[in-house]
Amino acid sequence: MAYLIKNAHLYNPDDMGVQDVLVVNDKVAAIGKDLTVVLPDLEMVDAKGMIMTPGFIDQHIHVTGGGGEGGPKSRTPEIVLSELVECGTTSLVGVSGTDSVSRSIPNLLAKVQALTDEGVSAWMYTSNYAYPPTTLTGSVKNDLLMVHEVLGVKIALGDHRSSFPTTQQVLDLLTQIRVGGMIAGKIGVLHIHLGNVPGAFEMFEDIVNRGFPIRHIRPTHCARDKYVFGKALEFGKRGGRIDITTGGSCAFESPADAVEAAWDAGVDQSLITMSSDGHGSVPRFNEKGEMVGLGIGGVACNLRDLKKLISRGHEVQKVLPLLTRNVAQGLELRGKGEVKCGASADFCLFDQNWELKDVFAKGAAMMRNGEILKKGTFEY
């Protein structure tokens, strides 16, 4: 399987100008101008006038379905492959949520493995909202070492559904994650669902002041509450990574506004990411503000807000890292988040209006000319 993408304007995510990109099997084999290649079964792709970007990485998706707070009928369904493809998401991290009973961690692992088999790259965080964490092997360290897909642990803080652990308990958990990651050759992170109850960032500050490395602490939903967002900015200025959720509630008019506010506040651009919180349940309201039903949180909101930021005049190479390089570097996903020689062949092709036309994941064509070619096992 080999493709030669000709004359694309490449953002890798840095602006590389017009380039040819050679893909062999699942890797980018060469990048240059006017490449001449002779290979069996080589397919040429004319990308003149097209914009090429890395495939997007969504580090927070409820792949097995979220919801459940309203009883069994309120559980949202599992995600299907085509939802990811149609918004350019080629890599993801699956998470569990409130329902830690009917949505088990082994089920999460199986779904992550299924999505990987279907064509994208998928990882997961073990556990859910709870403390002590719900693991696969009975140990955070063992999960990190023995399960390739596990990048860290999820927990909820400052939320009425969380366990409200003490600072010492969170520090003990972080120590397990750090040591487990060292043994497994992974970074090891604590992925933290933030509610709007104050106290989480004060806890992080205490932990970092004691000497614990800030790079293992990964708060998400940082813009759902103005107070929490203010504390997140302080955390970011200290060198912590902050993740802004593009789906669900937001204290700003749009998540794009929150990203701009973080940039304006002076947070290092490389420390800011976006994720969708896809397949969580989303309440639907009538004109009187009464809840009339539940919907499913989509994953296309990442692409929506990326396009919104670009439309506001921000440089493409400033915006793209929010969903590509910044995420990959933060989670140490080697070969992901960039289009460069030796990297995984995950990329998107857009027209000049930023309409998504082609998606490739691990070198395979998933979408061509706006038509989805690869769907999940049960979508056909």
User: What residues does each domain of the chain span?
Assistant: 2-53+336-372, 56-331
Task: Please state which CATH number belongs to domain 2-53+336-372.
Answer: 2.30.40.10
278, 298 Cβ separation under 8 angstroms? yes
The answer to the question of whether 154 is labelled as a binding residue is yes
Q: Which of 259, 153, 258, 157 is nearest to 201 (CA)?
A: 157
What beta strand segments (E) does 328-379 contain? 347-350, 356-361, 364-368, 371-372
Q: What is the pLDDT of residues 46-97, one digit of tens each?
A: 999 999 999 999 999 999 998 887 788 888 999 999 999 999 999 999 999 8
CB 153 within 8 A of CB 173: yes
Q: Token pair 């990326």 is at which residue?
A: 306
Q: Is pLDDT of 43 > 80?
A: yes
CB atoms within 10 A of CB 194: 26
The residue among 287 and 358 whose pLDDT is bigger is 358
- 291 has pLDDT over 70: no
148 annotated to a ligand binding site: no
Superfamily of domain 56-331 in the CATH hierarchy: Metal-dependent hydrolases (3.20.20.140)
Distances 33 to 37, 42, 213, 363 between C-alpha atoms, Å: 12, 18, 43, 20
Q: What is the pLDDT of residues 350-363, one digit of tens each?
A: 999 999 999 999 99
pTM for the full model?
A: 0.97
**Does 221 appear as a known binding residue?**
yes
Average pLDDT of the segment spanning 134-139? 97
67 is in an annotated binding site: yes
Catalytic annotation, residues: 277
Interval 208-237: pLDDT, tens? 999 999 999 999 999 999 999 999 999 999
